[in-house]
Structure 1
Amino acid sequence: MRVLVLTTWFPDTGNQATAPFNLKHVQAIADDHDVRVVHVRLGGTGAVVSENYGGVPVTRISISPLRPLGYLALARHVWAALKEADVLHTMAFTSAVVAAPIHAFRRTPWVHTEHWSGMADPASVSKLWVALSWLRYILKLPNVVTAVSTAQAKQLSRFARGGRVDVVPNVISVSKEKINRTAPANGVTRLISVGGLVLGKRPLLAVQTLALLRNQGIDASLTWVGDGPLRANMVAAAAAAGVTDHLSVTGWVEPQRVQQELRKADVFFLPTSHETFCVAAAEAVAAGLPAVVTDLPAVRDFLTAENSVLVGNDSAQDFGAGVELALRRFANVSGETIAATIPSAFAPVLVVEEFTRVYARAGALSL
């Protein structure tokens, strides 16, 4: 099929950490279908850029309230592209908002994939989003809506057409390299977190947990792979707790570097407050690491007692106890055994099969 992906969330060479899960979905789809991507840069003012990114043709178009005619240029481009497409596939909620006026005049079968956790709880985002949350009913316009987890599908069902949301998970690949987990080097427990330094990931709680573990006699260190507005706060909290020498913040790094950092660690640790899937945890388990993560409905599709400790409360004491339990539970469990717990349904070849079925259900041309 000829698939036009329209998304407001997509990585580029300047920020490879933006929505890598969308790129992996696109690359999986491109294995079986002819895919083109239109990346809408909300608030941008740059010129239209056409390039190949990650093996897929991408056109990047900026639109801004300061330049309302930019939307007309986007509409013309998308309209022309839809003439050559069998299916429109939007990814992330703002993409559906952008696409809706264009789709009203071009009835190409439409599939929407949602990733945003703010869809479930507008109050956790802002007062403005609470006021505008009625926009969620735009999801009744696509022929089919997909979610990345069972929990998210249930949350979105009241906004989707017919109350049905299909689950097509994120792509998680298990490395073909031999996975060797060894005992902590020199008795040091090497924790790793991956994600943005933002409120939802709770990096300050991670620092509190690190300090607690060290105060309890556990020689723990924490590497946080990522960056964000709370970086200075996190560094200050580490200094106040006396753990500066045991905290490393890498900033944003390339995906290959993330894998390298995971292979240096003993336990993946993320005290996140909300997720629709948690790709970072799944990738850590796929790399052979046990995970200590907040007990959220979205992670229960793949985190179990065989590969993780799920923490039901929100204190440093609870997460510290979770880390200690993980160290005991998985002390003699091989990396291969942990990696094997990741469901095969997350493999690219099976993800694209699911999307192919979804496209057919949406009314696109069948193969």
Structure 2
Amino acid sequence: MRILVVTPWFPTAESAASGVFVQREVEALTTRHEVTVLHLDWQRGTALDPSSRGGYRYRHVPLSRANPLAYRAARRIVTEIAQSHDVTHTHALTGLVPWLAGRPSGGRPWVHSEHWSGITAPETLRAPDRLALRVLGRRLRSADAVIAESSRLANGIRRFRASPIDVVPCVVDAVTPVERPRGPGLRLVAVGSLIARKGPMLAVDALAELVSRGVPAELTWVGAGPLATAVSERAREMDVGDRLRLAGALDAAGVTQELQAASLFILPTQGDNFCVVVAEALVNGRPVVSGAATGAVDYAAPAVSRFVEPQTGAAYADAVEDLARATASLGADEIAATVAGRFDRVRVADELSRIYMRVAG
């Protein structure tokens, strides 16, 4: 089939990690279908070198949110290209702004994949974003199929859509697990933007609590963001500044390297729909401690995970100590085996193909 993927999120030269989960899904689809990616880039980034793309056609369209004519241009471009494709597959609610009325696919089948954490954690949104959620959420009623990446997100979408919702996980590639470092200390790693929703302050609080209990712990946080200075100051105030390392934003290889150097993954998230980094930690054979407001509860086995309800440093420290004891005898291969095949490209491509066939009749 000919599939048109329309997305506001896709890797660019400025942000190689932006929309990488969409890119992986597209690469999986190319084994089954003829795929065209139309990147409606409202951030107006620089398209990646064509040599970095394989198996699919790509068109980069930089647009400005401040220009009303940009929305008309987006509608025209998508409608024109959709006519030569069997299914139009849009991504992200915020990408539907040009279609406050009508369908991106015109009269052809339309599938939509949702990812926005604002649907499941509206309390984290600013007033303009809450308004956008109310207005755009209604558009999900019109799609022939809506896909969520977790049951948590599917439940959030049901506020807007009564029709069935498909759940298809993100693609997370398998790796060869490396054994965890052994020793008396705990090497914790977190991956995420340094923003309030990811809980970096709570991670520092947990680190300080562990140290106060006599646990020789250290924490590496991978990711950049506006709270970087505040997080460093918090660590110094709690006398663990020398045990915190802010690694900044890293590429996929860098993230894997940090996961492999750690003994346990921690992310005090206040709201995630799938949480790719938790899946990556498990694939790498690392047990995970996370905030309970996450779609990772779908796939993280109780034997290798703890999901924390009370949002305090002490509660996260308790979970870390408990999980470290419970998994002390487990090898990295055993931990990775708990999610074996769950996020495989073949499996994701198969599930999406069944949805395309269904909506295309």
2:153 and 2:321 map into 1 onto residues whose CA distance is: 30
Equivalent position of 1:183 in the other structure = 182
Q: Which has the larger displacement, 318-327 or 308-317?
A: 308-317
2:180 and 2:131 map into 1 onto residues whose CA distance is: 49
TM alignment of 1:121-200, pairs within 5 A: 121-132=121-132, 133-160=134-161, 162-175=162-175, 177-184=176-183, 187-200=184-197
- SS in structure 2 opposite 1:328? helix
Q: Which has the larger displacement, 280-289 or 296-305?
A: 296-305
Equivalent position of 2:318 in the other structure = 321
TM alignment of 1:285-324, pairs within 5 A: 285-296=282-293, 298-324=295-321
Aligned residues: 359
| Structure 1 residues 108 and 328: CA distance shift in structure 2, 3 A | same
| Structure 1 residues 47 and 305: CA distance shift in structure 2, 3 A | closer
Note the alpha carbon deviations across 1:197-243, whole angstroms, 9 max, x for none.
11110101111111111111111111111111111111111121121
Q: Deviation at 1:103?
A: 2.9
Equivalent position of 2:15 in the other structure = 15
Q: Deviation at 1:99?
A: 4.8
1:197 maps to a residue whose letter is L
Equivalent position of 1:34 in the other structure = 34
Q: Deviation at 1:52?
A: 5.3
1:142 and 1:353 map into 2 onto residues whose CA distance is: 20
Equivalent position of 2:93 in the other structure = 93
1:331 and 1:24 map into 2 onto residues whose CA distance is: 33
2:18 and 2:89 map into 1 onto residues whose CA distance is: 18
Match of 1:354 among 340, 347, 351: 351
CA contact (8 A) 1:7 1:92 kept: yes
Equivalent position of 1:207 in the other structure = 204
Equivalent position of 1:80 in the other structure = 80
1:33 maps to a residue whose letter is H
Whether 1:235 aligns to 2:235 is no
Q: Deviation at 1:48?
A: 8.6
CA contact (8 A) 1:50 1:57 kept: no
Note the alpha carbon deviations across 1:296-347, whole angstroms, 9 max, x for none.
3522211122221222211100000111111101111010000000152321
CA contact (8 A) 1:210 1:221 kept: yes
CA contact (8 A) 2:88 2:108 kept: yes
- SS in structure 2 opposite 1:118? helix
1:192 maps to a residue whose letter is V
- SS in structure 2 opposite 1:248? strand
Q: Which has the larger displacement, 83-92 or 103-112?
A: 103-112
Note the alpha carbon deviations across 1:133-184, whole angstroms, 9 max, x for none.
1320110121100000112112212423x42100011112221x25322413
Q: Deviation at 1:192?
A: 0.3
TM alignment of 1:43-62, pairs within 5 A: 44=44, 51=50, 53-55=52-54, 56-62=56-62
Q: Which has the larger displacement, 321-330 or 288-297?
A: 288-297
- Identify unmatched segments of 5+ residues in structure 2: none
1:151 maps to a residue whose letter is R
1:47 and 1:20 map into 2 onto residues whose CA distance is: 15
| TM-score normalised by L of structure 2 | 0.93
Q: Deviation at 1:53?
A: 4.2
Equivalent position of 1:114 in the other structure = 114
1:301 maps to a residue whose letter is D
1:183 and 1:262 map into 2 onto residues whose CA distance is: 14
1:178 and 1:339 map into 2 onto residues whose CA distance is: 7
CA contact (8 A) 2:283 2:340 kept: no
1:292 and 1:323 map into 2 onto residues whose CA distance is: 7
2:355 maps to a residue whose letter is V
1:47 and 1:209 map into 2 onto residues whose CA distance is: 39
Equivalent position of 2:270 in the other structure = 273
Task: Percent identity, please.
Answer: 33
Whether 1:340 aligns to 2:340 is no
Alignment RMSD: 2.1
| TM-score normalised by L of structure 1 | 0.91
1:81 maps to a residue whose letter is I
1:181 maps to a residue whose letter is R
- SS in structure 2 opposite 1:345? coil
1:70 and 1:107 map into 2 onto residues whose CA distance is: 22
- SS in structure 1 opposite 2:143? coil
| Structure 1 residues 110 and 291: CA distance shift in structure 2, 3 A | same
2:291 and 2:270 map into 1 onto residues whose CA distance is: 7
1:142 and 1:308 map into 2 onto residues whose CA distance is: 35
Whether 1:261 aligns to 2:258 is yes
2:27 and 2:195 map into 1 onto residues whose CA distance is: 28
